[in-house]
Amino acid sequence: MERLTKRFNETAALDAVSLDFAAGSFTALLGPSGCGKTTMLRLIAGFEAPSEGRVLFDDALMADPRRQVPPEARGVGVVFQSYALWPHMDVAENVAYPLKARHIKRGEIAGRVGAVLDIVGLAGFESRRIEELSGGQRQRVALARCLVADAKVILFDEPLANLDMHLRSSMVDAFRDIHRRTGATIVYVTHDQAEALALADRVAIMSQGKVLQAAAPQEVYRAPANATVAGFVGRGSIVSGFTVDQAAGTATVDIAGHRLAARSAGASAGPVNILLRPEALRISPEGMPATVLDSIYRGPVHEVRLALPTLEQGREQELLIDSTEALAVGQSVHVSVSDAWIIPGG
């Protein structure tokens, strides 16, 4: 998509977004409610017309503000959160529906329906009625109905939002498998970061109609493009410090009078904001001095909030750290830092 904009009244739900989706890639769209994720999918699928900009599939124009290829001619499969199945039909009839609409021969339909039901793990459920299925099974019928049409592009809008944790994780495996088997280009909207990081080869972080960063999951986590992305993806602390020395890709920074090495995207003289992930911090005999603010048990580890000795603009600077032992509130500790990232643009 090129400089794609969609306005509803005054507000731009999508704001001049240029983004390419390589054939066979799996992109997860992440971002707060209302940031424009569904709008982007609807523009790709053709349910919405652009206000400005263009949608292209390879070199073929799908939409600009004057011309639109209708949704059914785009070869895009869509699975939304509310998976409109036909309740009066059985599983096989639901899945066969898109093929019947295209007047494909009966014998071929049966074969293709059987194959996709196998992929989604519903072989043997052909004659079950929809109302006799669990939520997760219904979700998989919707997925099979989308897959059977052999779409080259498949859009998912929070397809697992209705499911419990256990089902979600088994569906995540199913998605990965489907992507491998079909080679389709997938765009996948989710609120769940773990899901996005597990599935996608690229994560696009959106905010207020813009894409802030689109990169491999590890890169978005390790090297967020700005403070919004850093705060949105994963846990961590952003503290202020200043650069005392720098070389290509690294710098020495001073945080609360303590010097340490940090990765950086480019030149970063003077005051900087530094991202510290919990797994890069360890309580140790020496390092940055800090005081325990609180310590909360979260499953295998205690999540501990620490305060640095210096204030920043009158506010306490906090560090988040995982500790195998509970720490007492008010206790003085030292923290060693194995990795830090200077957030670009302050």
Residues contributing to the site for Mg ion (CB under 5 A): 38
The answer to the question of residue 34 lying near ligand ATP (CB under 6 A) is: yes
- Choosing from 15, 37, 50, 323, the residue that interacts with ligand ATP (CB under 6 A) is 37
- Residue 32 backbone phi and psi in degrees, to 5: -65, 160
The answer to the question of residue 39 lying near ligand ATP (CB under 6 A) is: yes
Q: Which residues pair with 74 in a beta bridge?
A: none
The answer to the question of residue 38 lying near ligand ATP (CB under 6 A) is: yes
In angstroms, the CA 94 to CA 86 distance is 6
* Pairing verdict, β 332-337 and 281-298: antiparallel
Q: Which range of residues in 33-41, 128-136, 238-246, 283-291 is near ligand ATP by CB under 6 A?
A: 33-41
By beta-carbon proximity to Mg ion, the closer residue of 50 and 278 is 50
235 CB-contact burial (10 Å; exposed 0-12 / middle 13-18 / buried 19+) = exposed
Q: Which does 13 bind (CB under 5 to 8 A by kind): ligand ATP, Mg ion, none?
A: ligand ATP
In angstroms, the CA 13 to CA 141 distance is 31
In angstroms, the CA 189 to CA 39 distance is 11
325-342 residues labelled b (16+ CB within 10 A) or e (exposed) = eebeeeeebebebeebbb
The answer to the question of residue 27 lying near ligand ATP (CB under 6 A) is: no
By beta-carbon proximity to Mg ion, the closer residue of 38 and 137 is 38
How many chain residues are in contact with ligand ATP, going by CB under 6 A?
11
Q: Which does 33 bind (CB under 5 to 8 A by kind): ligand ATP, Mg ion, none?
A: ligand ATP
Using Cβ positions, the residue closest to Mg ion within the complex turns out to be 38
Q: Which does 337 bind (CB under 5 to 8 A by kind): ligand ATP, Mg ion, none?
A: none
345 CB-contact burial (10 Å; exposed 0-12 / middle 13-18 / buried 19+) = exposed
User: Which residues contact ligand ATP by CB under 6 A?
Assistant: 8, 11, 13, 31, 33-39
